[in-house]
Amino acid sequence: MIEQLLAGEVKLLQRGERIAAVGPQYHDPRYPEPAPFFRFVGLKSIRINCKKGENELHQVDFLITSGMLIRLSALDTIGMMDASLFIDYVDVEWCLRAKSMEYNCFGVCAAKMSHTLGDRVFSWRNGKRIIPVHSPLRNYYLIRNALLLYKRSYISLTWTLSDAYRLVLKYGLFSLLIPPRFSNFRMMTLGLWHGIRGISGKFPECFQSHRTEP
């Protein structure tokens, strides 16, 4: 995987790309197909699937932290990942911050990684959709950190609206269909409140006066 990431990075540098990071295509063994990469065009989230047998390099809006290869020179300019978000949206925030500085993240199709997301999966629409299921605490971070990102100046309005739409769907799905429903609802509602108030950090500390900078 690392060899393929480095080889892909060399090709991108030869093309003159300003690289923030490169990342592999990952496959969760509980899913029938590898996970796609994503780009946002307007209010739409475009799924980018790698074609079998082809060494493709795709500019993407974000990469998951697992397997991400980051250039040290990019870290010097973009900065470190935001530990105050602990733990969701950390990779998304960093990639979007990089994009606002005209650095791009790229998915390397030839680089493969086996990786599982969530504690279990939930099958929906007769198996057409399989959703990773996290603990109620992770759902708290998901809701809270999304709201914290929406307030940041380098997060575009179109990305915010697109992500907020998916977040509303998750809120309803985990509150009504995926157990433990009440715990999910309670923690996501708390995350919503803390996100509005600007509270960040690890969960036990979020009841203290630690807030994000404007």
The parent domain of residue 48 ranges over 2-114
Q: Are 67 and 95 in contact (CB under 8 A)?
A: no
pLDDT of residue 82: 96
pLDDT digits (tens, 9 = 90+) for 140-151: 999 999 999 999
Banded pLDDT at 209 (limits 50, 70, 90): very low
Asked if 128 and 78 sit in the same domain, the reply is no
Q: Considering the domain boundaries, does residue 212 fall inside one?
A: no
Same domain, 97 and 180: no
Are 149 and 66 within one domain? Answer: no
213 inside domain = no
So what's the pLDDT on residue 123?
A: 72
Cα–Cα dist 184/131, whole Å: 15
pLDDT digit string, tens, across residues 26-64: 999 888 889 999 998 888 889 999 987 678 999 999 999
Q: Does residue 45 sit within a domain?
A: yes
Of 51, 46, 32, nearest in space to 109 by CA? 51
Burial, 7: exposed, middle or buried (Cβ in 10 Å; 0-12, 13-18, 19+)?
A: middle
Closest to 59 in 3D by CA, of 27, 31, 18, 94 = 18
Q: Are residues 79 and 162 in the same domain?
A: no
Q: Is 131 in the same domain as 108? A: no
The answer to whether 22 and 11 have CB atoms below 8 angstroms apart is no
Task: Provide mean pLDDT across the span 175-184.
Answer: 95
Residue 190 lies in a domain: yes
Q: Which of 62, 88, 114 is the last residue of a domain?
A: 114
Last residue of a domain, one of 57, 81, 114: 114
109 and 124 housed in the same domain: no
pLDDT band for position 86 (50/70/90)? confident
Does residue 110 sit in the same domain as residue 135? no
Residue 212 has pLDDT above 60, yes or no: no
In this prediction, residues 177-204 reach a mean pLDDT of 94
Note whether 130 and 84 are same-domain residues. Answer: no
Strand partners, 108: 24, 57
110/130 same-domain check:
no
Tens digit of pLDDT for each residue in 113-163? Answer: 999 988 888 876 665 667 889 999 999 999 999 999 999 999 999 999 999
Other residues' Cβ atoms within 10 Å of the Cβ of residue 169: 10
Q: Helices 157-176 and 136-150, interaxial angle, to 10°?
A: 160
Tell me which long-range contacts 174-182 makes (C-beta under 8 A, separation of at least 24). 174/139, 177/122, 177/124, 178/122, 178/131, 178/133, 180/136
